[in-house]
């Protein structure tokens, strides 16, 4: 809606995608013009005129802008589809090369691992999401999952759940609210669902930096992941433990036995 806001956002995103500020400004500037000269661009983007040339040159070498070598020379941005496709290609190529490089390396050295009680923490919505999916896919016996916020019920997650349930794994999913439970039953029809009775899971009054429950995942009764979301920063943080004897896991099992999952049977 608000163009100015979107412009700023686009500039920021382009910088996150690796462009410098001037390059980003020039690109969105050109995106709003069918075509423009250095002067036009400079006026519209606040980029010093003499620096427009450098910026555009970089953009051209990345396939985001085309240049007409006349005098004065004119610039124009490639179409939105071409631009995003180019960016995607670029990134995909890098990630693939990274995969290969790390693959040929992975030859680990000294095993610096202590096979005792371990509790790891990780944060970032994305990373936690991926870890969740992976853990679910590795389950052989039982998956217990409690979801605290509907935004966490992604399609990828549903895919993982449906895949594992089709392999004969028992799937028990809890929700904090009834509407959420309905959503779950729609996306993962084969799961046994329930509404958790643990009040402390609910995000109280949404005060400042109140901490709400994110997910709670128990795999084969021996691996657990619990995450929370601070309502202010919306950053998700998780702790994660594995091993049947792991303290965290033991607590989780006890918790479960007590009433998190009401008697293990569906409905009510």
Partner DNA sequence: CCTTTTTGTGATTAATCGGGTGACTTCTCG
Partner DNA sequence: CGAGAAGTCACCCGATTAATCACAAAAAGG
Asked if 143 and 170 touch (Cβ cutoff 8 Å), the reply is yes
Beta-bridged to residue 218, according to DSSP, are 144, 224
Give which of a copy of itself, DNA, none residue 20 binds (C-beta under 5 to 8 Å, depending on kind). DNA
Q: Smaller CB distance to a copy of itself: residue 74 or 149?
A: 74
Q: Residue 51, SS3? A: helix
Rounded to a whole number of angstroms, the minimum distance from the CB of residue 26 to DNA is: 11
Rounded to a whole number of angstroms, the minimum distance from the CB of residue 205 to a copy of itself is: 27
Q: Where are the alpha helices (DSSP H) in 106-246?
A: 125-138, 155-165, 178-187
Q: Is 84 in the site for a copy of itself (CB under 8 A)?
A: yes
Q: Is 121 in the site for a copy of itself (CB under 8 A)?
A: yes
Q: Smaller CB distance to DNA: residue 24 or 216?
A: 24
Q: Which tokens go with 133?
A: 């999916």
Q: Smaller CB distance to a copy of itself: residue 77 or 260?
A: 77
Element (H, E) at 36: strand 36-37
Q: Is 79 in the site for a copy of itself (CB under 8 A)?
A: yes
Rounded to a whole number of angstroms, the minimum distance from the CB of residue 96 to DNA is: 23
Binding range to a copy of itself, per CB under 8 A, among 14-22, 139-147, 174-182, 250-258:
14-22
Calpha distance 227→5 (Å, rounded): 33
Q: Is 251 in the site for a copy of itself (CB under 8 A)?
A: no
Rounded to a whole number of angstroms, the minimum distance from the CB of residue 37 to a copy of itself is: 7
Q: Smaller CB distance to DNA: residue 42 or 227?
A: 42
Calpha distance 160→225 (Å, rounded): 16
Cis peptide preceding 174, ω within 30 of 0: no
Mask 37-76, x = binds DNA (CB under 7 A)?
xxx-------xxxxx-x-----------------xxx---
Q: Is 74 in the site for a copy of itself (CB under 8 A)?
A: yes
Rounded to a whole number of angstroms, the minimum distance from the CB of residue 64 to DNA is: 16
Answer positive or negative: Cα dihedral of 239, 243, 246, 252.
Answer: positive
CB neighbour class for 98 (10 Å; exposed up to 12, middle 13-18, buried from 19): exposed
Count the site residues for a copy of itself by CB under 8 A: 84
Q: Which residue from 160, 141, 140, 265 is spatially nearest to 215, judged by alpha carbons?
A: 160
Residues 88-117, interacting with a copy of itself (CB under 8 A): 88-95, 97-99, 101-114
Calpha distance 75→73 (Å, rounded): 7
DSSP classification of residue 260: I
Q: Is 130 in the site for a copy of itself (CB under 8 A)?
A: yes
């Amino acid at each position: 809606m608000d163009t100015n806001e979107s412009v700023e956002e686009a500039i920021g995103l382009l910088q996150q995608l690796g462009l410098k500020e001037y390059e980003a400004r020039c690109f969105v500037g050109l995106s709003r013009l069918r075509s423009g000269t250095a002067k036009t661009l400079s006026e519209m983007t606040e980029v010093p005129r003499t620096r427009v040339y450098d910026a555009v040159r970089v953009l051209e070498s990345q396939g985001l802008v085309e240049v007409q070598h006349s005098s004065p020379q004119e610039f124009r941005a490639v179409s939105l589809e071409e631009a995003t496709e180019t960016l995607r290609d670029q990134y995909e190529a890098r990630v693939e090369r990274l995969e290969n490089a790390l693959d040929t390396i992975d030859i680990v050295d000294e095993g610096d691992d202590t096979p005792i009680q371990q509790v790891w923490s990780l944060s970032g919505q994305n990373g936690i999401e991926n870890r969740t999916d992976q853990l679910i896919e590795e389950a052989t016996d039982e998956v217990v999952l409690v979801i605290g916020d509907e935004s966490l019920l992604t399609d990828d997650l549903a895919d993982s759940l449906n895949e594992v349930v089709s392999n004969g794994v028992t799937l028990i999913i809890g929700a904090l609210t009834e509407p959420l439970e309905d959503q779950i039953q729609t996306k993962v029809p084969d799961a046994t669902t329930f509404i958790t009775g643990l009040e402390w899971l609910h995000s109280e009054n949404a005060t400042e930096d109140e901490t709400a429950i994110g997910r709670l995942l128990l795999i084969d009764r021996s691996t657990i992941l619990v995450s929370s979301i601070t309502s202010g920063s919306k950053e998700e943080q998780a702790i994660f433990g594995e091993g049947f004897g792991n303290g965290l896991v033991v607590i989780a099992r006890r918790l479960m036995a007590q009433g998190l999952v009401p008697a293990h049977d569906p409905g009510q």
